[in-house]
Structure 1
């Protein structure tokens, strides 16, 4: 089994399959991140707003895996947007994580109504220059805001992390990301564990491969070149999700899953109109 990576526009390679910790309590995060690292994951995605950076940091510090082998992502929350505040908030994240730098720092939401996303992007550029954030990117950014920050600074985000799952496959925004040289990351890649896991198309493909529905969906993300980090707090599922790396879908199966997308498939807020 090979562990695939994706090359970013800054020349660095990010592990394509990672482990997410959204909605995971701080003490639980310490435990499950440790399990994930033991299982072979080398990419951990957290954020200030998740409230578990400290637990993630403790797991990394306690792991037998060298820090330089682990890709660590965190994010600047909406309340911390603005040049000076973003830098201050990120330094607070570093302290909670117990590390000197992260591999990827993202602006968590465009939060356009605040009018601070460009200044925040400039702060991330400065943090990258300082070596504290080795790669920088955004999350939940629509096309117009991506183009605005690139045009204003000349610096293109390495990634855009967006809601993406079979019922909402974001084909158009993925095309924009590709055009701009931005890699796409998926949040809620399993549709938050709901209806999509029971979809007949997914379950039929899973039966064909003696796989789980989650493994099929993760394999679909990987086949489409998407960076994906499913979350689980169950030891068995953490291990099972990682084994999706062994699953290869046929072009026909990938197209069947591509066809599941829906106009009303979005689960979370629309970044273009979100006001938090």
Structure 2
């Protein structure tokens, strides 16, 4: 199966992705036991059918570990060239706490080791409590890692408009913000979308089908 050309988009001039991202929240364990072999087989099936972009997080159970197994399997099967087109977007979701450069570096190194990748395609930063200003240190240290080549790109997850713009005005090179958006929940159109257009960053949407409510079968 070959997806149409319209299925791919350039998130940045150097980063081509599939418009439909494969979310790996399901392997977090919240939906029950996950069979590793079946999960890796499913990943290969998705990629072979053109769905080449993956969204995961450090706290999605074994998701990052599955990426490493998947990548090693592709290499062993002499499909290494295909890895150039396969992108993995992970997240760092720290609890509000004192943020140091060492803490950030260690967290990213853990994800790199788990995923078997020297350079992460994208690191999406998520912060829970805006009253705790340590998020400013965190994004600055992540920006340094991006400049050092450890992260190809830097994105956000579930940041509101005010704080997204705060980062952009600081000169942080943000390429995307992942938020909930669907025909039912169109809140990002009000404030977030204009800011993204102003600064030329992309919105990555989750919950687009409302958990299947907007699909043919529910």
Q: Name the TM-score class by shorter chain.
A: 0.7 to 0.9
Q: Deviations over 1:46-78 (max 9, x none)?
A: 110112210122112212253222111111112
Equivalent pair of 1:80/1:86 in contact (CA under 8 Å): no
- Hey, what does 2:122 align to over in structure 1? 104
Aligned CA distance change for structure 1 residues 118 and 110 (closer, same or farther; 3 Å): farther
Normalization by structure 2: what TM-score? Answer: 0.80
Report the alpha carbon displacement of residue 80 of structure 1 after superposing the two structures with TM.
Answer: 7.6
* 8 Å contact from structure 2 (residues 89, 122) kept in 1: yes
Contact 2:68 2:114 in 1 (8 A): yes
Partner of 1:159: 176
How far, CA to CA, are the matches of 2:132 and 2:172 in structure 1?
A: 21
2:84 corresponds to: 68
Compared CA separation, residues 117 and 35, structure 1 to 2 (3 A): same
CA distance in 2, matches of 1:70, 1:5: 13
1:163 and 1:69 mapped to 2: Cα distance? 26
Aligned to 1:12: 14
Q: Does structure 2 retain, via aligned residues, the 8 Å contact 1:19–1:41? A: yes
Secondary structure, in 3 states, of the residue corresponding to 1:48?
A: coil
Corresponding position of 1:264: none
Q: Residue 182 of structure 1: CA displacement?
A: 1.3
Give deviations 1:25-47, integer Å, cap 9, x for gaps: 56254332222112222211111
Within 5 A, what are the aligned runs for 1:43-62?
Answer: 43-51=53-61, 52-62=63-73
Distance across 2 between alignment mates of 1:45 and 1:184: 14
How many residues get paired? 196
In the superposition, relative to structure 1, how do residues 78 and 70 fare at CA in structure 2: closer, same or farther (>3 Å)? same
Structure 1 residue 213, shift from structure 2 partner: 7.1
- Maintained 8 Å contact 1:156/1:182: no
Matched, 1:113 2:117: no
Cα distance in structure 2, aligned partners of 1:111 and 1:147:
17
**Which one has a larger percent helix, Structure 1 or Structure 2?**
1
- Distance change (3 Å), C-alpha of 1:141 and 1:55: same
Partner of 1:192: 211
In the alignment, what sits opposite 2:31? none
Q: What is the match of residue 36 of structure 1?
A: 46
Partner Cα distance (1:176, 1:167) in 2: 21
C-alpha contact 1:167 1:196 (8 A) present in aligned 2: no
Runs of 4+ aligned residues of structure 1 deviating over 4 Å after TM superposition are none
- Listed as ranges, the gaps of 5+ residues in structure 1 are 198-211, 215-276
| Contact 1:110-1:117 within 8 A present in 2 as well | no
